[in-house]
Amino acid sequence: MSRFSLPIVGLLLCSIALAQGVAPVEVGVRPVREVALPDRGAAPASVIAPNDSRIAAEVTAKVARVHAEVGGTVKAGQLLLELDATDYRLALAQTDAQVSAARARVALAEQRLQQALSLRKKQFVSDDAVMELKTGVHAAEADLDVAQAQRAVAARNVEKCRILAPFAGVVLERQAQVGAMATPGTPLLRLVDLATPEIEAQIQATQADELSKATDIVFENQGTHYPARLLRLSPVVDVAARTRVARLVFSDSVAPAGSSGTLRWLAPGVLLPPELLVKRDRELGAFVVESGRARFVPTPAAQEGRPFAMALSPETPMVVRGQQGLTDGQAVTVTDGTP
């Protein structure tokens, strides 16, 4: 072999080594199922009673008696308070008299009509006179209808002086004072329903869809967890807060109405820890191993320092150690990535 052959052979061997790539890099690998984090969601929530009503007056009258006090429970239809109905009873008596007078006018008009019909057969009364008497009967009946309607209004006003509980509940506030003047719309009592309350939560629009598939939903209040299930989810997004309203019911024990806390749930997907994220060509992503080589999988929605989601099978080998110095397609040797 000539003295020129040795350098050429060396160059050929170096070319072959370069063509085969650099030496494999050792990386730690674990299946996705072993490194994945549970995807937990959270949102502020409060416990809402089915009805929380401020009972108000419907007529103008003085408060005569109060039959319900703060903290007391009442049944549906129970008398809460009474207003002075003296003026309204007088008005009712007046309308009773008007109804009686209207009935008497109807009776008189009908009697005159019957007499006219009898006389018309003997041609003592003209057809025009009979027609006029029929009209008088109709007018008297209309006056009776008006009087009866006025009496119904007067009777309803008397009824409004007795304020009844619209549902079974507990009295939380009392504004009514005996002797004070109540006017229409004046709040007298605050009554909260005793029926099972619901949970209302403001869910971020990006999390709302996963709530319907979530498991392990709980309402957390002062360290106590109350299991819950989704009842309904509003399809409308609040423009300002970018949230959707969710209503849930308690599955077991019930938190008191008016409680506030946090709704927590476990989403069906999984998240990967933020330390697996690397940046390549201005893209965030993570490395997996395929056929002895590292493959960079970009995740456009990922944010540095936060857990991220990836559509990978549970058994996919995920690079958990040595990923910072890897390049896409680089040969690797795999070791156990368990710390």
Residue 321 lies in a domain: yes
CA distance 314 to 176: 65
pTM across the whole model: 0.63
- 98 assigned to some structural domain: yes
DSSP-based three-state secondary structure for 299: coil
Average pLDDT over residues 29-36: 90
pLDDT for the residue numbered 125? 74
Nearest residue to 250 (alpha-carbon basis) of 39, 52, 45: 45
Residue 30: band (very low, low, confident or very high) from pLDDT cuts 50, 70, 90? very high
List the domain range (segments joined by +) for residue 313: 21-36+272-336
Report pLDDT digits (tens) over 274-331: 999 999 988 999 999 999 999 999 988 888 888 888 878 888 999 999 999 899 999 9
What CA–CA distances, in Å, run from 154 to 62, 81, 94, 159, 339?
Answer: 17, 19, 9, 9, 85
Please report whether residue 112 resides in a domain: yes
Is it the case that residue 78 has pLDDT exceeding 50? yes
Which CATH number goes with the domain that contains 61?
A: 2.40.50.100
The string of pLDDT tens digits covering residues 96-128 is 999 999 999 999 999 988 888 878 777 777 887
25 lies in the same domain as 61: no
Q: Are residues 244 and 213 in the same domain?
A: yes
Within a domain: 332: yes
307 vs 325: CA distance, rounded Å: 21
Same domain, 26 and 144: no
Let me know whether 76 and 168 are in one domain. yes
As a whole number, the mean pLDDT across the chain is: 88
DSSP 247: E
Q: Indicate the number of domains in the chain.
A: 4
CATH code assigned at 153: 1.10.287
pLDDT digits (tens, 9 = 90+) for 255-265: 999 899 999 99
User: Do 96 and 141 sit in the same domain of this protein?
Assistant: yes
Residue 94 predicted with pLDDT over 90: yes
